[in-house]
Amino acid sequence: MTDKIFLPNDSMMLSTDFIYGVATASFQIEGGATNRLSCIWDTFCDTPTKVADGSNGLIACDHFNLWQQDIELIDSLGVDAYRLSISWPRVIKESGELNQDGVDFYLNILDALKSKNIKAFVTLYHWDLPQYLEDEGGWLNRETAYKFRDYVDLISQAFGDSVFAYATLNEPFCSAFLGYEAGIHAPGIKGKRFGKKAAHHLLLAHGLAMKVLAKNSPNSKNGIVLNFTPCYPESDLLTDKNATVFADDYFNQWYIKPLFDSKYPEIMAKLPKEHQPEILDGDMAIISHPVDFLGVNFYTRAIYRADADEHFIQIDPPEPRTDIGWEIYPNAFTELLVSLNEKYSLPPIYITENGAAMADKLIDGVVNDTDRIDYYHNHLNAVNEAMKQGVQVNGYFAWSLMDNFEWAEGYLKRFGIVYVDYDTQVRTIKASGHAYKELITNR
Ligand code: FCB
């Protein structure tokens, strides 16, 4: 284990043009729930057994009240950028009009970031769909894509030129598959006939929003954030290899291929008709609207074996694993970036999330998370290796600025480079936070 993060001396990631940041998401940190509409995650949290510790996002890290000190904290880490998400139910009323109090909350944050010369990377949808839209079918309702476009239209006008980069969606795979197929994320709907339909409407929402952003905010970099869990076969058997390609198309390529090739992977034809999305004329052209950047989130890989009924099954991840059970396998990060670069004609990439949940202990005011430092060291070097192989990566964001509400895991899993005591809301920079700062400030 190491107590430092270091890159080779000739690394392009040591250039001051390379952007380093920290990332968060609205529902995971804000709290302030009485000042906004209810969202699908509020409902999900209220449903018994859905969230591991029975918790919710009503207070979370109380960032709604503590945002000023949190911006100071971000600044103290020496980062170039902060990736935050906008809570749709905070800024839009049920009538579809702007909620000015909610807008002001974010305008104040954007102003504070500007005054500190920190670039704002704004994600417009990080999973907190207003509940009133879910009541009308949520992402299974095509109309939601147009509601998203209208929200993006209003909010991007309100934000003017204070945003450096907009991402339409965070990880549509998670919204669609985990939320509407596996049912382990909000809104908790289960069934293979739902996942790809939700995915199509999410991607449509992305494309519609890109057009609006190009008009309202031509000077910002506008794109999308996708997550990738690269797929590896359990053995060299052809059946396992084929199963792995199928899984990769189903989980990963499904979300990127429409953006850059204007079509879904060919496995679509192998899905039963009732599992396929309804694609209307012109949809794929909307979805493949050019993007200025691709945001890539990476945490781990997955290993597959062939299965006669289900095409593939995922096997349990081998050691070493993080506290959330995800295998630590940085090589997959390099291989992912290189392979995406080969497969598609990509704009510059930002690594919009990467990080690890570890079983942190706050002892005498210190969190000595050398395991997390190791993770960052190895994964930053994996990105560096991909850049050496020709991939254009312009920035990297640590997930996360601070411990927060980790979705179905509640507050049990800590991803922060800053420790949060949820009883007192005291923040303590972990050793990994100090190491990250040192890397950035020593460039
Ligand atoms: C990603 C999410 C993010 C966080 C990390 C651990 O899938 O985008 O909000 O929960 O995983």
**In whole angstroms, what is the distance from residue 135 CA to residue 18 CA?**
43
Q: Is 409 an active-site residue?
A: no
Is ligand 1 within 6 A of the CB of residue 128? no
Residue 322 is classified by DSSP as -
**Model confidence pLDDT, tens digit, residues 23-54:** 999 999 999 999 999 999 999 999 999 999 99
Is ligand 1 within 6 A of the CB of residue 407? yes
Q: Where are the domains of the chain?
A: 12-441
> Given this model, what pLDDT does residue 1 score?
75
Q: In the numeric block, which tokens belong to residue 304?
A: 């597959």
**Model confidence pLDDT, tens digit, residues 159-210:** 999 999 999 999 999 999 999 999 999 999 999 999 999 999 999 999 999 9
Is ligand 1 within 6 A of the CB of residue 415? yes
Residue with tokens 């890159």: 7
Q: Are 350 and 410 in contact (CB under 8 A)?
A: no
Exactly one of 327, 335, 353, 385 is catalytic; name it. Answer: 353
Q: Is 94 an active-site residue?
A: no
Instruction: Give how far the C-alpha of residue 220 lies from the chain's centroid of Cα atoms, to the nearest Å.
Output: 19
**Model confidence pLDDT, tens digit, residues 58-72:** 999 999 999 999 999
Regions in the chain scoring below 50 on pLDDT: none
Question: In ligand 1, which atom is closest to the CA atom of 406?
Answer: 10
pTM > 0.95: yes or no: yes
Is ligand 1 within 6 A of the CB of residue 354? no
- Write down the CATH superfamily of domain 12-441: Glycosidases (3.20.20.80)
> What are the C-alpha distances in Å from 286 to residues 196, 197, 279, 290?
17, 16, 11, 9
Pocket test for ligand 1, best of 406, 409, 412, 413 (most atoms within 8 A of CB): 406
Strand partners, 233: 304
